[in-house]
Structures are given as structure tokens and as C-alpha cells.
Amino acid sequence: MVGESEILEVVIDHPRLDAAAAPALRQELAGRFEDRPERVILDLSNVEFIDSTGLGVLVSMLKQMGTNGRIVIVGASPAVQRLLHITRLDSLFIQCDSISAAHDALA
């Protein structure tokens, strides 16, 4: 159970967040987001590639968190940053260089 004041940290282990990986990712995250956390740090350091389907999973998680939900992405590769920029979702997901900076951003 994630309390209101807690920050959920999630490490994504899929090197490719693509349409092939999306069903498994969706299932994994659904379990982690069951308690509707309001603040989440998403560590994408291991993600080398992401497409619109993978991004769609992250957007759906953010929606699941409700209107107060905030996700901070840590460790975004140039590929992840590029897709966030192209889709203009860099305004929806805060990006930080480190876990500690992410905690500060969510404080």
C-alpha cells in the first residue's frame, strides 16, 4: 500500500518499450499502480528504445493516478528524450538526472 506521502519508485527493466513489450509492461505496472500512488519516480535507465505504444502505457499509468498524479522520469536516454520531445509529452512527464533530484522535484 502506498500512502499519500510516499513516493513510489519503479525501475523499468525492458530495454525496448515497444508494442511487443507493451502487454507485459502494462501488466507489471498495473500491479504497482494498484493503490493509485500520486507521486512516482520512473527509472528508465535500462530503456534503450521506446515507441508510441510504450509511451502510451506510461500515459495510461499517469491517467490512472488521477488529476494529482505526477511521474518523474529518471535516466531517460537520448531516444526516450527525443520521443518525449516529438510528442510534446515532455511537458507531461518531469525529467530529472538522478533519483535524489526526482525526490526533490516531487517534494
Partner 1 sequence: MMPSPDLPSGISVAANLMEVRRLAEHLRMACADKAIDELTTFDCELALVEAANNVVEHGYQGRPEGELTLIVQIAGSTIRMELLDRGTPVPDGQFLRCETVPPDATHGRGTGIIQSCMDGIEYTSENGLNRLVMTKRLP
Per CB under 8 A, residues contacting partner 1 are: 16, 18-20, 49, 51-53, 55-57, 59-60, 62-63, 78-79, 82-83, 86-89, 91-92
To partner 1, the closest distance from the beta carbon of 55 in angstroms equals 7
To partner 1, the closest distance from the beta carbon of 25 in angstroms equals 13
Residue closer to partner 1, measured from CB, 49 or 94: 49
Say which residues have a Cβ less than 8 Å from residue 49's Cβ, sequence separation at least 6. Answer: 15, 16, 17, 18, 79
What single-letter amino acid sits at 79? Answer: A
**How far, in Å, CA of 33 to CA of 19, rounded?**
20
